[in-house]
Amino acid sequence: MSTPSAAPGPAYGAVPVCPRHPDRVSYVRCQRCERPVCAECQRPAAVGVHCVDCVREASRTAPARRTVFGAPVRTGPPVVTLTLIGLCVVSYLLQWAVGWPWTERLVFQPAAAEAQPWRFLTAGFLHSTQGYLAFTHIAFNMYALWLLGRELELALGRWRFLTLYLASVLGGNVLYLLLADGASWWQIVLGASGGVFGLFGAIVVVLRRMGRSARPILAIIGINAVIGFVVPNVAWQGHLGGLLVGLALGAAYAYAPRERRTLVGVGASMLVVVVLVLLAALRYATV
């Protein structure tokens, strides 16, 4: 007498399992590749679900989201703006802790900057620690840098924003150099105002490019222009130089043709910096 055999089970592979988790049976399939997908690997889609592999592949091939001015859309904090603010604050604390030796190494002075050209930029990270400007100087500049910087960094992208800011600091000190004579040749200049006014100039252009009113910004620029001539110890030359650079680079960045944004952005940035360096060199050559 023979022993009855067990009923045959389903053929191998007849039960759908998740490719990433073969121990899990799944009758739900990805709408793109039609492979079984378990609950852990399912990603909601407009219709049905997609597997994680298809979602990853789609993210690699999908075009990057960009702003009106061609910058990658970022959702995180404004890294460059926060870094610039952090550097200014740390430098300000060192001015208090170390005293004049820290400021003296970095401050801009037309008479000293020819042999120590880094002062054209480093002065933009120093602020007054004396008199009525002891706190208001850095407070106003950092507040303006935060308000303008986070918007421009998002709109223009990190490298164009950083270039705009540093070139504006340079432009402010170069104009001060060009107009310096007599006692002002030995006068020290410090503060982020040149960079901040460059941001003011750029955001005016950006707003106009987007079809939005720039009147509030123009009013702020006008008020600060008056302050520069009325309040003592304010270098209006640095404000004006930064503003002019901001307007120039802002126009180049905002109105560059879509297919040539990188070329125009890099070219305009290099041109502005080269012109400023040449102007400074010519001024020193005539002393």
Q: Give the Å distances, CA to CA, from 226 to 177, 201, 223, 236.
A: 21, 16, 5, 9
Q: Are residues 51 and 98 in the same domain?
A: no
Predicted confidence band of residue 220 (pLDDT cuts 50, 70, 90): confident
Q: Are residues 45 and 97 in the same domain?
A: no
Average pLDDT of the residues in 99-124:
96
Report yes or no on 213 lying in a domain.
Answer: yes
Q: Are residues 185 and 125 in the same domain?
A: yes
Per-residue b or e along 50-70, where b marks 16 or more CB atoms closer than 10 Å to that residue's CB = bbebbbeeeeeeeeeeeeebb
Q: What does pLDDT average to over the chain?
A: 89
Q: Are residues 193 and 95 in the same domain?
A: yes
- The confidence score (pLDDT) of residue 6 equals 39
- The confidence score (pLDDT) of residue 11 equals 41
Q: Are residues 21 and 95 in the same domain?
A: no
Closest CA to 197 of 237, 226, 240: 240
In 103-246, beta strands by DSSP E: none
The residue that leads in pLDDT, 66 or 133, is 66
Closest CA to 257 of 273, 268, 242: 268
Predicted confidence band of residue 2 (pLDDT cuts 50, 70, 90): very low
Report yes or no on 39 lying in a domain.
Answer: yes
Domain count, the chain: 2
Q: Reduced to 3 states, what is the DSSP secondary structure of residue 66? A: strand
Q: Are residues 107 and 240 in the same domain?
A: yes
Predicted confidence band of residue 62 (pLDDT cuts 50, 70, 90): low
Q: Are residues 203 and 244 in the same domain?
A: yes
**pLDDT, tens digit, 9 for 90 and up, residues 248-283:** 999 999 999 989 999 999 999 999 999 999 999 999
Q: Are residues 180 and 208 in the same domain?
A: yes
CB 98 within 8 A of CB 177: no
Coarse DSSP helix, strand, coil percentages of the chain, rounded to the nearest 5 percent: 65, 5, 30
User: Residue 65 and residue 157: Cα distance in Å, rounded?
Assistant: 12
Report yes or no on 5 lying in a domain.
Answer: no
**pLDDT, tens digit, 9 for 90 and up, residues 135-163:** 889 999 999 999 999 999 999 999 999 99
pLDDT at 224 over 80: no
Sign of the torsion formed by the C-alpha atoms of 79, 80, 82 and 86: positive
Predicted confidence band of residue 7 (pLDDT cuts 50, 70, 90): very low
Which residues constitute the domain of residue 247?
80-285
Report yes or no on 173 lying in a domain.
Answer: yes
Report yes or no on 3 lying in a domain.
Answer: no
Report yes or no on 4 lying in a domain.
Answer: no
Q: Are residues 171 and 269 in the same domain?
A: yes
Here the CATH number for the domain that contains residue 279 is 1.20.1540.10
Report yes or no on 178 lying in a domain.
Answer: yes
Q: Are residues 59 and 88 in the same domain?
A: no
- The confidence score (pLDDT) of residue 158 equals 96
Report yes or no on 71 lying in a domain.
Answer: no
Q: Are residues 130 and 244 in the same domain?
A: yes
Q: Are residues 104 and 171 in the same domain?
A: yes
Helix axes 193-209, 236-255, angle to 10 degrees: 30
- The confidence score (pLDDT) of residue 47 equals 79
- The confidence score (pLDDT) of residue 131 equals 75
